[in-house]
Amino acid sequence: MGNAEEYSAGGVVIRGDEVLVIVPKRRAANGAKVLALPKGHLDGDETAEQAALREVREEGGVEAELIDLLGDVRYRYKRDGRLVDKRVRFFLFAYRSGSPEDHDHEIAQARWMALTEAATGLSYAGEREMVLEALSKSRPDR
């Protein structure tokens, strides 16, 4: 029997040289605070793009505009002793309006962070890769 599979979507929201990051109230398995990108499960018949946009609004408090698909992050985690295969599809967004102060109750903090800082500071390797990908897309060599 294969592992359970979960599918989520998330956003890398760019404002100038900054990216929107969140600190969820729920901590990592080891009790550490997590510094992450907004992301979450698809609701009903939402597309990945719609889910990513909604999560950016709910977790990050801002409205954003889709620019491009960044890629998928895959990882495994254990839930109730079972391995779960997780795939998160990340999209690149441009900031439009709103404030990170307006995040929902599941989030301890949402704020802007320098892209270069997020590329090394985010808790998860896959999300750091997505920020690096966003950096390369937002600064094409001329």
* Within-domain flag for 43: yes
Tell me which residue range forms the domain holding 42. 12-73+101-110
Instruction: Please report whether residue 1 resides in a domain.
Output: no
Q: How, if at all, do strands 4-15 and 82-98 pair?
A: parallel
pLDDT recorded at residue 3: 75
DSSP states along 62-109? EEEEEEEEEEEEEEEEEETTEEEEEEEEEEEEEEEEE-GGG--TTEEE
Q: How many domains does the chain have?
A: 1
In a domain, 51, yes or no: yes
Taking the C-alpha atoms of residue 30 and residue 50, their distance in angstroms, rounded to an integer, is 32
Is 7 a domain residue?
Answer: no
**Do the domain assignments include residue 137?**
no
Evaluate whether residue 93 is within a structural domain: no
pLDDT in tens, 125-138: 999 999 999 998 87
Say if 92 falls within a structural domain: no
Is 64 contained in some domain? yes
Task: Convert the pLDDT of each residue in 78-101 to its tens digit.
Answer: 888 889 999 999 999 999 999 999
